[in-house]
Amino acid sequence: MDIKALNQGKIGFRIYGDIKRSDRDILERLKNVGTCAISDGLNKFNTMHHAIKPVYEEVKIAGNAITVRMRPGDNLMLHKAIGMAQAGDVIVVDTCGCESNSVLGDLMATAAVKKGIAGIVIDGGVRDVLELKRSKAPIFAKCVTPAVGDKGGPGEINAPISCGGVPVNPGDIIVGDANGIVVIDPSIIDEVLKGAEAKLEKDNKRMEEILRGVITKPDIDEALRKAGVIG
């Protein structure tokens, strides 16, 4: 497929070039750290809206974004993105706010898993939800509806999009788990990962204190003293 030729299509009906992919060890570290610590490392920015949830709650994903923007109720470009994506990629879908139609079901999810796609994040609807749960498909979605859409376009692949209230650029790092989805600019990954791992270590130490019986942190009373609540 000649991607350059596709780029010459009319506005709103284009497929742009490939993305730069991160080292697998970085992605595994992010997956192990989890979205809570990463969100802290991002200073609370770039966390998608809580409505976007995993269909199978225990799934964990980390990979670079293949972005898809589609007309409400249409999924033509999502079909194409599944065909284009490489193993380990995360497809992120902007449905323009559509909640009345599903854009993915069991067949498309199975095709994505067969290719080794790390996950699909959809700011919109899916269906066949029991089948998706049973297969442990790495799908995150805003809602569930049996109503199918169509495949007429228009749409774009690997253009900047918005998903869950967060800007997503092609190649951004997407991390997802039971707590939600975070989006990381690859240019700041070292800083984010350092902060996230430090936060996780701090939380682990605090858990050890709690298990030893240190229920209230000393800085809680100190904050109350500064506020004049206690003496």
> What is the rounded CA–CA span in Å between residue 148 and residue 158?
24
pLDDT of residue 217: 86
105 is in an annotated binding site: yes
pLDDT of residue 6: 52
Along the 231 residues of the chain, how does pLDDT read in single tens digits?
A: 444 445 556 788 899 989 999 999 999 999 999 999 999 999 989 999 999 999 999 999 999 999 999 999 999 999 999 999 999 999 999 999 999 999 999 999 999 999 999 999 999 999 999 999 999 999 999 999 999 989 998 999 999 999 999 999 999 999 999 999 999 999 999 999 999 999 999 999 999 999 999 998 888 988 999 999 987
108 is in an annotated binding site: yes
pLDDT of residue 218: 82
- The distance of Cα 159 from the centroid of its chain, to the nearest Å, equals 16
Kindly report the pTM of this predicted structure.
Answer: 0.91
128 is in an annotated binding site: yes
pLDDT of residue 5: 42
pLDDT of residue 2: 45
Tokens of 213: 């019986």
107 is in an annotated binding site: yes
pLDDT of residue 27: 98
pLDDT of residue 40: 94
Q: Which domains does the chain have, with CATH numbers?
A: 3-187 (3.50.30.40)
pLDDT of residue 1: 41
pLDDT of residue 12: 84
